[in-house]
Chains A and B, each alone.
Chain A
Amino acid sequence: MDFRFTVEEEAFREEVREWLKKEIPPRWIELDAGLWEETEESWALSREFQRKLGQKGWLAPAYPREYGGSEMGHIKRLVLSEELNYNRAPISIEVEISVNWAGQALMLFGSEEQKREVLSKVGRGEAIFCLGYSEPNAGSDLASLQTRAVEDGDSWVINGQKIWCSYAHYADYCWLGARTDPDAPKHKGISMFLVDMKTPGITVRPLINVLNRHSFNEVFFDDVRIPRENLVGEENNGWYQLVMALDFERSLIGTAAAHQRFIDELVHYMIEAKGKGERFADDPLIKDELAEIAVQNEVLRMMCYRIAWMYSQNLHPSYESSMSLLFSSELLRRIANVGMRVVGPYGQLDTDSKWSVLKARVMRAYLASLSIGVGGGSNEIQRNIVAMRGLGLPRQ
């Protein structure tokens, strides 16, 4: 047993920190766009940053060098992810989607050509994916998706509607799940496709999230014709590939570091308030609640470390990833609520008020955290996975 990072890993942490100090644009820090809060300006900054990260081989660190990665070990990836998260680098879910969901699935199931063509762009930060998973009537029951792909000569023709497609308005590709055999049982008639978002017949329509920003979309496919070879992996085996990719997404190993930054700021706020003689800073109940979220974040950190360590031992986490995602999402909601306790009524004010505190981060997290227990499989679905896959409880 050894919970230490090696000297080399610690040196790498320093290297990443130094690099981030230089490369995170001051304007990005000023804009302070959090999760789901992108604007045109912040998006442009983050894309530029991601290309630089890609040049370092740090955007898709696990990828082979030929695809822009650096074949980095899992523990070093953990270190990198912690630093990117703690320092609020301009990198968000779009990278997770592109590099870890779509990218990893392509790595496993894609053809050599697809990898060369698409993965190297993803790894270098030159292309991003959106996901074509959910539909208006296929949410938690994702396998009931109805978007159709029909073979026609050298093409597949796609018809249907997808929803909650984050960053589809910016994406270069869509990682699409569509039904290829309507007569097969629902899990056995799905295939995965690589779709160029510039293909005629695709319409992207914005949806405005509760932060009043445009981060996700509806995407309509009307007779969208894509080349035959853009089927990824085996026809009708898409569900399996999709579930594999979902596992990758659930392993957001840097999430405890993101929470830590937030907790540190709340603690700092309390200490400053105490210095100014504010009475709430001595409230033992608030201290207890802050301590509780700090404790829970240590629990989460160990869950994350365990996942990284499992990967490093060639063990494939499954329920462990669901568990950490579940824990992380509930914790973020708790942190937001404890944060409200700390800042009090000031927590209601957005950044445009001269009275706003902590850049209104508490309020923004209060809203943004709603999405975390929902996207990528709701917390209820995650609990089902832990119960059925982790504990072997019966489906029926």
Chain B
Amino acid sequence: MASLIMQMLEGTVTSLRIFFLTLIFSLPLGFVVAKGKMTAIRPVRWLTDLYIQIMRGTPLILQLIFFYFAPFYLFGVSYDRFTACIVAFVVNYSAYFAEIYRSGLQSIDRGQHEAAKVLGFTRPYTFFHIILPQVIKKIMPSLGNEVITLVKDTALAQTIGVAELFRVAQTASSREFSTVPIFIAGIFYFVMNYIVSRIFSVAERKLGYYR
């Protein structure tokens, strides 16, 4: 039993690595994608839209397989499964975050930009100090949702053989002819998401000082 828990903790570490690496890259990248979708330059907007459509319109499990195998079949190069997994997650989640950012950016009154312009703030200053803080407050609930989904989606990494928590649990399960490891994994996911949702509610409360 103790060794099973140890194995599952190791799997959890892998799951958490996927989780944090995905967030580190896709949270900022999502902004770039959102800007692309909102630009006046038509080809850029069109391509960004196509990218978002594909990411949202096909299963993540398929995208994982694509990013693991495509480089080999297309260019004859292969890279390790963990890297492929991170690439797939980042590319997928950037698209989802982009749509959340876009909804936030579009909900900010035009008057905020105009007031900032008239007061002489530069464009970067306006974005980082006037617009972004208000966007973050507005998107907190949808962002929380998406981050919780990500915790559970990490289980898909096993498709290309990444030994994350769920794969470890399944392997143990078939080795011991018992579903217990799977249920233990369920508790692990629940605890992780409980922590995530607590963090988000604290953040929402902290941002609640204004309306």
Same complex for A and B? Answer no
